[in-house]
Amino acid sequence: MKKNKLIKSGVAVLLMSSIRCRVIYNCSLSLLTFSRNLNLQPDFCCHVSTVTHSLQYLYTAVTPGINFPEFTAVGQVDGQQIVYYDSKIRKMIPKTEWMQKISIDDYWNTETERTWSDQEDLHHLLHTVMKSFNHNKGVHTLQRVFGCELNYNWTVRGYNQFSYDGENFISLDLKTGTWTAAKPQALIIKKKWDNDRGYTVHWKNYLENICIEWLKMYMFYSRETLGRKVPPTASVFQKHSPSPEVVCHATGFFPKEVMIFWRKNGSPIYKDVKLRETLPNQDGSFQKRSILKVPAEELQKHTYTCVILHSSLKETLVLEVPKGGGLMAIIVGVVVLSLFSLPLLLELWSGRRRTLASILLQPLKSLPPTSLTDLTVCLTAELRERDQEMEMRTGFNSD
């Protein structure tokens, strides 16, 4: 009974947008207690192999006068929408079955009250920003994106960013504990928030600590759904015959992390390749495509293949581009088992640093496919900047 009261108290304090540093410690302690009650160990969030997990909220405030809610809020875990709120329904609602199973006392009422407060705060800020731009008419929007990420190596990253009319406006720099103005009109707000150290300290603590505890709790409830592995359905086709572009399209896979690259006569291709963003499907799965620019005569002379790597696949998926163009149906379990050779594996674990791009220069050789995802993530950890890490993981062949 005492534990339930402690959790309820901590959650209630956490979800109030007016939380200040004097209650942050108690709130974080309560969530930590909740995590311990569920026996959430440091490797708990990594049930989907060694990937990055994320909790993100997107707020949008719009000026009145259009047929659209003046405020909307969307919450996501690992890119999947979990909650929704808008100013018309004025209620936070679950968007997944597992979110309905959350057993924290008064969770949904507390979430709704928190979002009410956030709605008022963002609309007030929207009017302030409009004045700074001398905008008193027309349709304008202010968006806020904030959240946290928990990486496979137990490091965390948080962010809190605002944009006005689709352009960056102001954001929090967690390293310096200060706000960065992207527009001259944001300087007044930056000065105000920088001088309010309690406000900045609150957000730094929330993004780096409390948000992570909430993420771990959501991962616990979603372990059956987000922990599933669904293989992709893939195809290779020309966009407009005889177009010089060939498309490799993978869809219906889960989790989100996937790697797609091209080979010419067995050798990786890095130029004339466009790797598109991974997009969600309506059923909660994902899709991704890679486009190779290649003349029709080259397709006749050489053998081009698309290689797809995903944690759900027991064998690497390899699709050959038809010589005559057209559509190539899915080919499952062909030829290749992994990107990594045994000597390379030994070299990696001996401590030598190699980038993912250099690894892909190696010929495809056999290795147990279960090592694929772990090794890929380990390699990306060698990159110094996180943006570079992501580029090497999913966009290595775009150069």
Domain boundaries of the chain, sorted by first residue? 2-226, 233-398
For the entire predicted model, the pTM comes to 0.61
Contact 316, 345 (CB under 8 A): no
* CA atoms of 324 and 257, how far apart (whole Å): 32
Burial (CB < 10 A; 0-12, 13-18, 19+), residue 249, is buried
Q: At what angle do helices 371-380 and 342-349 cross, to 10 degrees?
A: 50
pLDDT in tens, the chain (399 residues): 433 433 333 333 333 322 222 222 233 333 333 334 433 333 332 233 347 899 999 999 999 988 899 999 999 998 889 999 999 999 999 999 999 988 788 999 999 999 999 999 999 999 999 999 999 999 999 999 999 999 878 899 999 999 999 999 999 999 999 999 999 999 999 999 999 999 999 999 999 999 999 999 999 999 888 888 999 999 998 876 556 899 999 999 988 889 999 999 999 998 999 999 999 888 888 999 999 999 888 988 999 999 999 999 999 999 999 876 555 444 433 333 333 333 333 333 333 333 333 333 333 332 233 333 333 333 333 333 333 444 444 343 433
- Domain 233-398, what architecture? Sandwich (2.60)
* CA atoms of 151 and 147, how far apart (whole Å): 13
Burial (CB < 10 A; 0-12, 13-18, 19+), residue 233, is middle
- Note the pLDDT of residue 256: 87
* CA atoms of 364 and 267, how far apart (whole Å): 9
Handedness of CA 86, 194, 9, 45 (dihedral sign): positive
HEC sequence for 243-264: CCEEEEEEEEEECCCCEEEEEE
- What 8-state DSSP symbol labels residue 208? I
* CA atoms of 231 and 314, how far apart (whole Å): 9
Contact 295, 273 (CB under 8 A): no
Q: Is 377 helix (H, G, I), strand (E, B) or coil?
A: helix
Residue linked to tokens 């962010």: 159
The CATH topology of domain 2-226 is: 3.30.500
Residue 60 structure tokens: 């949008």
